Amino acid sequence: MTSVLFLVASLVGAWFTFNAFNPMIVQRRRSVISFFAGWLTAELALHHVAWQVAAAIVFIALGALHAWPGKLALLISLVSWAGLILLFRRASQAERVCTEALRNGLGVDYEERILPELRPLLSHGINWREIALPFAMRDPRVERIRDVVYADGGRRGASRGLKLDLYRAREGAPGEVAGTRRPRPILLQVHGGAWILGSKNEQGIPLMQRMASHGWLCAAIDYRLSPHATFPDHVVDVKRAIRWLKEHAAEHGADPDFIVVTGGSAGGHLSSLAALTPNAPEFQPGFEDVDTRVQGCVAFYGVYDFTNRDGVYRHDGLQRVLTQHVMKRRLEDARPLYEQASPLYRVNAEAPPFFLVHGDFDSLVPVAEARGMYAALRAVSRAPVAYAEIPGAQHAFEIFPSLRSALAIDGVERFLFLVYSEHLRRRAAASAAHEGSEPDRRAS
């Protein structure tokens, strides 16, 4: 009996490993199951090895190898462990991919163009303690200010309001970045969850803690969720958060003129849509005169085309969610509205710098979605556009610390610091030009 149980356990473990290499993307329900199993296996590969080895030791101690099922189970387990180690080694490729993406999108000298006083902040090396304990996600250098109300919650949530959390460095005077009196750059995090789930408490934490420890002010927001909310409520709330950050930046030593928006999945959709529609009146009801421009966007595994124009989705999962919960109208009956909601249709020459990040094993949002968005941006945008297709990465791969997510966040960190450096250079040049014109006016 013990040998049979060992065989069953080894087959379960082997299926997790196999699924991480071969995610199911054709059928809607299977793709969801494949996501959860593959996500946790690929990002926690060595943890899987540890528990499977521990289980094998127990089974062997109980005499599982005395019968042929136990011997077969051990062979299957050895193959599975080899696959898990290969998964872990594949995660290290994220460093090369991100470096190539930044060189292609920003220029081969991108790192040298980061301001000298900011360059020492760039991370080097891996924090193995974070990877060993991935769900702790605490950084003693960073404080979190919870549940700041940034807007009313509409008819269904006006009493409690919409809230955000602020992350900022504990040490140093407010407004200090790299030992200067320069205001803090701002990173706005928008969570995912198919526009119907999730909150500010679960996503984007490793990236926000990283940037907050380097002197950034990071804000994670809640927004109205479907089915109570109907598009464009979700992106309107992102715009309201941008307005709040601009109005209250000085209170937190931050720069209201430099905001980068980021998010994953539905958050990738909302962040990119907000970045591509500055001051769009249809998304700013009641505050049409507020400047909601942002200076950059980092979108992780985002949804960019509600119309599925290029047929990248091989099942009806997205359309079911949109029709029943988000848009509440069928694509055939409201195509202009679906296009209005799609970042792919809002791409324009004035887009801010973009960094798109997507896993090539994503079973929820096909990687072709990101490839199409990248091609569209590169074709028309005057600003830099980078795209990193992370090998072996499932959906949501960067939610908690892992080798792959740490290396991807290294790349995002460099993108953010370069965009910020270029912003500061433009500001300094404008200031110098203004000062140079003052003597001319006085002389006249």
The residues facing 299 across adjacent strands are 263, 356
Report which DSSP code applies to 123.
Answer: -
Q: Is 362 considered catalytic here?
A: yes
306-336 tens-digit pLDDT: 999 999 998 888 999 999 999 999 999 999 9
User: 319: which residues sit within 8 A by CB, 6+ positions away?
Assistant: 308, 313, 331
Report which DSSP code applies to 180.
Answer: B
- Residue located via tokens 């029943």: 324
201-223 tens-digit pLDDT: 999 999 999 999 999 999 999 99
Write down the domain spans for the chain: 2-91, 94-430
364-423 tens-digit pLDDT: 999 999 999 999 999 999 999 999 999 999 999 999 999 999 999 999 999 999 999 999
- Pick the catalytic residue from 139, 165, 222, 362: 362
- Pick the catalytic residue from 31, 34, 226, 265: 265
Instruction: Count other Cβ atoms within 10 Å, centred on residue 121.
Output: 17
Examine the pLDDT at 180 and tell me if it is beyond 70: no
Examine the pLDDT at 30 and tell me if it is beyond 90: no
Examine the pLDDT at 196 and tell me if it is beyond 80: yes
The CATH code belonging to domain 94-430 is 3.40.50.1820
224-280 tens-digit pLDDT: 999 999 999 999 999 999 999 999 999 999 999 999 999 999 999 999 999 999 999
Q: Is 410 considered catalytic here?
A: no
> Distance (Å, rounded) from C-alpha 280 to C-alpha 38?
39
Torsion of CA 42, 43, 47, 53, to 10 degrees: 10
Alpha helix stretches (DSSP H) within 260-326:
266-276, 317-321
The residues facing 220 across adjacent strands are 165, 189
> Distance (Å, rounded) from C-alpha 31 to C-alpha 407?
26
- Pick the catalytic residue from 234, 325, 395, 423: 395
**Three-class secondary structure assignment of 130-185:** HHHCCCCCCCCCEEEEEEEEEECCCCCCCCCCEEEEEEEECCCCCCCECCECCCEE
For the segment 33-43, the average pLDDT, to the nearest whole number, is 91
Cis peptide leading into residue 140 (ω within 30°): no
100-123 tens-digit pLDDT: 999 999 999 999 999 999 999 999
**How would residue 190 be classed by pLDDT, with cut points 50, 70 and 90?**
very high
| Summary mean pLDDT of the chain | 93
Least confident among 70-74, 158-162, 438-442: 438-442
